[in-house]
Structure 1
Amino acid sequence: MEENNTPRWFSELTQEEVAFIKNFILSSGSIKDLSKTYSTSYPTIRKRLDKLIQKIQINERKDNDTVVKLINQLEEEGKIDQDIAKTVVLEYSKSLNCLIID
């Protein structure tokens, strides 16, 4: 969690993804209604929703990932530089994001 209690997965969403989630909620979770809002097909909206679900799951995994925890621990103990720790975690996170299926 960040200092303002916003979950990290939420802070990593794009503005477009946040708008999509907002529209999803406003349509009471109806993919059919959402497809009308976006003037696109049900399968297209379903695919977009599935990608968002995957993104959230991967970000949740990052929060509990042993590799990320180890890097953070090494940085806290002064065994590696903060910039190096950030770079390693960022690159590792990018590799996890590759798991999102198009």
Structure 2
Amino acid sequence: MAYPIITNCPVCSEVLKITKLQCTHCDTTIENEFELSKFATLSSEHLSFIEIFLKSRGNIKEVEKELGVSYPTVRGKLNEIVSALGATEKKNDLDDKNVIDMLGRGEISLDEAIKTIKGN
């Protein structure tokens, strides 16, 4: 039985380093210092959100429906994940015109558009 990889030390909470890999077929063992991908350090909640986001092909309206949350909540979760991946936060990429375009396409409700514009 395989367990999910842990990325932080259960004693001091620092990031763990992978030092050994083993083939389950031929028992070849490789020892060295291996690096985890940035995605390996995300929480299971973040990974679940990413899976839903990708299955929805980035359609925020679909993500809203699947999770039962509002547009600003979906955007907030995306920003949270981008930050957790270590990306520097850029200025809000939603200007008023983009919000109005999204409203026109039915991707967000009027209330969500107003909240988003007020937040800009």
TM-score (norm 1): 0.49
More helix by share: 1
TM-score (norm 2): 0.42
